[in-house]
Structure 1
């Protein structure tokens, strides 16, 4: 059964949390002032797409608490459709802290056990949420939250297949949530439902056992994907379909401030390019540009650009 009434461009769901990070580059035990913001892999993608001018529908469960209301207001303010956001009476909204480092990746401390989002279940996924979207964006974080959240993820993927909604899978493996073996088994099964797969190079090695981006992409294509884009970090991104392949260089970044959230920004940029029907190399190049902007800022969403930002960048480049 294929639903042709696509009122939403992208639907996504998962856990969104309140993020705190110190205003100074200090160990958390010495930090006294914190900035408060919102972050979560799928919500980062939702905000990124909304800023780029797209209709995006986000589903989650928040705690019926002050942090839940803060997150909800933030997402609505960014233009994300939150009609499928619900509030749990007893489970809390997840919280995490980011310890900024003088160099290298920040350290992350999560407080998400038994959070409201971890109670997501198949019954929380309305068919209309999937059927009305052109793309369904999934990550490997949601199925790692709990057994019911895992079932919900597979239910959503199956619904998408039934309604002709294109499934996008970003493995986004979080080793603090599950073992490598459990992640591999689950995500390889989930990849069989995906039309587009977006692994990082290390994730691709874990999932496929292959060393090169070309071999990784071939594995996912053989499993049924139509497009694979392997994120290569400083080396850009490798894309492959059954008909074409290529590498797009990374977009230059003057100063890397915070790399967390770059993969989510990449997914938002790629989906924006595909929705705008750009040629595939251009869509991948847009993904690298959006990701590059994010890592120049502290926080997962602060650096996400608007489409006007992208347009102005284009104008400066062509002058």
Structure 2
């Protein structure tokens, strides 16, 4: 199921070169790092491509060696990077993070992204024909905080307009990027999207909202709202109209490529929800970074395949588990057949799943006890 350009999903946003210590410890203490890649939208793009979907990443990197690495590495996951711009005047963003969490559960991360090539994105620098050529557009709240130009870009990307793709928006609240009460911008962007992902913890920190129902009350417009609850799983609120569209997508997947999304010029009036909750399996966590992006990729993959919301949430949990059981931001997901077998488990068997490092391998038996 693809858009007119043959693309399922276009992901727009920042990606950075990531350095992760080769041994546990504080960043002040470690002396050797492994180079990898990271960025909310590019993480989703890579995971979706690995899951068999046609994906483009639209971003901006420096005309430097790290920019070369990002384009080559993301392309190596099967993502189309031909629309990535190279900036001759700004550097590629870089960040460092600890290999493990601190004792208090916090994450030690140092960003070097101020003035980066990605921060120069704006409505004038993005190829709109490419952005609107996919069946779905995925963006995150991180991009909106990078600069005024990036903020303007995000508002235009989510704005209702004829021919707009279905917009997926991951709130991805980062307190350091939204000082001075500016996080209300994220609420505005989320209300304009079709599919929204947000964690209970970040909604409380950013907006003072406690609990999934309160979040839905503040975000009545999206056809699908997914509230992530960490180890407790996730709950999805789905409008009847969104459920019908999902069924139509499933039929299009079986019968052949679908045309672009219908025009979206108005925000529909709120209607009754179907509420679906699905627990997360037990996971032996190696590193938590990237799990939220992986969850979004799993859920969106299920959406593209026309699966039920319960199945989409389970696919999201499995993609997240793949990321949680590796030390890097990105992890190869289980094969579609492997994931489908686990998603089809009974509620009892699903509740007994035990996923640890290496569980995505086809030759490994997944524990259900």
Query: Structure 2 length as normaliser, TM-score?
Result: 0.79
Counterparts of residues 161-200 of structure 1 (less than 5 Å)? 161-179=161-179, 181-184=181-184, 186-200=185-199
Note the 1:56-205 alignment, pairs <5 A.
Answer: 56-101=55-100, 103=103, 104-158=105-159, 161-179=161-179, 181-184=181-184, 186-205=185-204
Q: 3-state DSSP class of the match of 1:176?
A: helix
Partner of 1:235 in structure 2?
232
Cα displacement string for residues 212-245 of structure 1 (whole angstroms, at most 9, x for unaligned residues): 2022123212xx2111010000110011123310
Matched, 1:269 2:268: no
SS at match of 1:216: helix
Asked if 2 retains the 8 angstrom alpha-carbon contact of 1:105 and 1:259, the reply is no
Match of 2:309 among 280, 298, 304: 280
What is the correspondence of 1:12-31 to structure 2 with a 5 Å cutoff?
12-31=11-30
Unaligned runs of 5+ in 2: 240-272, 344-361
Paired position in structure 2 for 1:245: 275
> 2:3, 2:134 within 8 Å by CA — same for their partners in 1?
no
Secondary structure of the residue aligned to 2:202 is helix
SS in 1 for 2:46: helix
Which stretch shows the higher mean deviation, 238-247 or 77-86? 238-247
Kindly indicate whether the alpha-carbon contact (under 8 Å) linking 1:259 and 1:294 is maintained by their aligned counterparts in 2: yes
Aligned to 2:46: 47
State whether residues 236 and 248 of structure 1, in contact with CA within 8 Å, keep that contact through their aligned partners in structure 2: yes
- Give the secondary-structure state (helix, strand or coil) at the position aligned to 2:181: helix
Counterpart in the other structure of 1:302: 331
Q: In terms of Rg, which structure is larger?
A: 2
- Other-structure match for 1:32: 31
Pick which of 308-317 and 167-176 moved more: 308-317
Higher helix share: 1
Tell which deviates more after alignment, 206-215 or 276-285.
Answer: 206-215
Contact 2:13/2:59 (8 A) holds in 1: yes
Q: Residues 26 and 233 from structure 1, CA distance in 2 versus in 1: closer, same or farther, beyond 3 angstroms?
A: same
Q: Is the 8 A contact 1:197 1:227 kept in 2?
A: yes
Gaps of at least 5 residues in structure 1 are none
* Structure 2 counterpart SS, 1:204: helix
Following superposition, the deviation at residue 131 of structure 1 comes to 2.3
Aligned residues of 1:140 and 1:171 also touching (Cα < 8 A): yes
> Any conservation in 2 of the 1:17–1:40 contact (CA below 8 Å)?
yes
Structure-1 separation of matches of 2:290 and 2:55: 18
Give TM-score scaled by structure 1 length: 0.91
Cα distance in structure 2, aligned partners of 1:249 and 1:177: 31
3-state SS, counterpart of residue 50 of structure 1: helix
C-alpha offsets along residues 261-306 of structure 1, whole Å, 9 cap, x if unaligned? 1110010000000001101111111101111121111010035444
Work out the number of aligned pairs and report it.
Answer: 312
d(CA) in 1 for partners of 2:107, 2:209: 28
TM superposition shift of 1:207: 5.1
- For residue 309 of structure 1, report the CA deviation from its aligned partner: 4.9
Q: Within 1, Cα distance between the matches of 2:121 and 2:158?
A: 15
1:217/1:116 CA distance change after superposition, 3 Å: same
2:223 equivalent among 223, 226, 246: 226
**What is the alpha-carbon distance in structure 1 between the residues aligned to residue 153 and residue 202 of structure 2?**
22
Q: Secondary structure at the match of 2:219?
A: helix
Q: Specify whether residues 121 and 311 from structure 1 end up closer, same or farther in structure 2 by C-alpha distance, changes over 3 A only.
A: same
**In the TM superposition, what is the alpha-carbon distance from 1:49 to its structure 2 partner?**
0.3
1:206-225 alignment runs, 5 A limit: 206=205, 208-221=207-220, 224-225=221-222
Specify the SS of the correspondent of 1:148: helix
- Cα RMSD (Å) of the superposition? 2.2
> CA contact under 8 A between 1:96 and 1:111: conserved in structure 2?
yes
